[in-house]
Amino acid sequence: MIRIRRAQLADSSAIGRVQVETWQSAYAGLLPDDMLAGMSDVRHAAMWMQTLSHKTESRGVFVADDSDMGVVGFGSCGPVRDTPEGLDGTEVRVGEVYLLYVEPDFQNQGIGRRLLDALFRQLRADGFDTAVLWMLADNPTRFFYEGLGGRRVGEREDTFAGTDVDEVAYAWRDLEAPLMRRKLAPDGA
Ligand SMILES: CC(C)(COP(=O)(O)OP(=O)(O)OC[C@H]1O[C@@H](n2cnc3c(N)ncnc32)[C@H](O)[C@@H]1OP(=O)(O)O)[C@@H](O)C(=O)NCCC(=O)NCCS
């Protein structure tokens, strides 16, 4: 059974491990090989420990916790860091989904959808009326976000380990969209 719940400090190592695993598998060929090979569970765990030690930042971090395997996915959100140019200007408070990752063996089982729903609920609870998410333009999982009602609203260039990459932004105005609710199992997140 998989439960979506808010992350705790004790999840730092598990989140760091899932982040390294998912980046190395999802971004091969999209981000520099050296950078991916150089990612370290220990370094990422330390970064998560810092994030999860802050009360405000840790509010926006959720994990998918499998009763046998432990943390198999995670996501994070908070105030927007880079507002895409294509928002229509009527948004009052814009939040952002910073990260969303599910371990390869657990993908396509509805976990990403449940995590995204928990993040949207958190953003709503914090008073945001719009959510944006930036991702690599070449990432095939953009269809995941389009399927869940995300509207493409921006582009930017980012740099990873000296390599320029194109990114695109998606936005959601209705953070209670029926599409999100349709297949949800209750999880008390
Ligand atoms: C993208 C990701 C978070 C989705 O999580 P997931 O648990 O695999 O997705 P779900 O099982 O909840 O899928 C929800 C819907 O999206 C669809 N979907 C999932 N991945 C998809 C993909 N790569 N392309 C097209 N549709 C996809 C599913 O078919 C499902 O639709 P349905 O309910 O109508 O059948 C996960 O696959 C992942 O971590 N991928 C690798 C890392 C990555 O690229 N993350 C995004 C960074 S911004």
Name the closest-CA residue to atom 36, ligand 1. Answer: 102
How does residue 189 score in pLDDT terms, banded at 50, 70 and 90? very low
Mean pLDDT of 53-63: 95
In this predicted model, what pLDDT tens digit does every residue of 124-152 receive, in sequence order? Answer: 999 999 999 999 999 989 999 999 999 99
Query: Domains in the chain, please, with CATH?
Result: 2-181 (3.40.630.30)
How far apart, in Å, are the Cα atoms of 27 and each of 49, 130, 184? Answer: 24, 27, 28
In this predicted model, what pLDDT tens digit does every residue of 13-40 receive, in sequence order? Answer: 999 999 999 999 999 999 999 999 999 9
Is beta strand 94-102 parallel, antiparallel or unpaired with respect to 130-136? parallel
**Is the Cβ atom of 140 under 6 angstroms away from ligand 1?**
yes
**Is the Cβ atom of 141 under 6 angstroms away from ligand 1?**
yes
Task: Tell me the CA–centroid distance for residue 71 and ligand 1, in Å.
Answer: 17
How does residue 188 score in pLDDT terms, banded at 50, 70 and 90? very low
Task: Tell me the CA–centroid distance for residue 107 and ligand 1, in Å.
Answer: 7
Joined together, the tokens standing for residue 27 give 């971004």
Q: Say how far residue 115 (Cα) sits from the centre of its chain.
A: 8
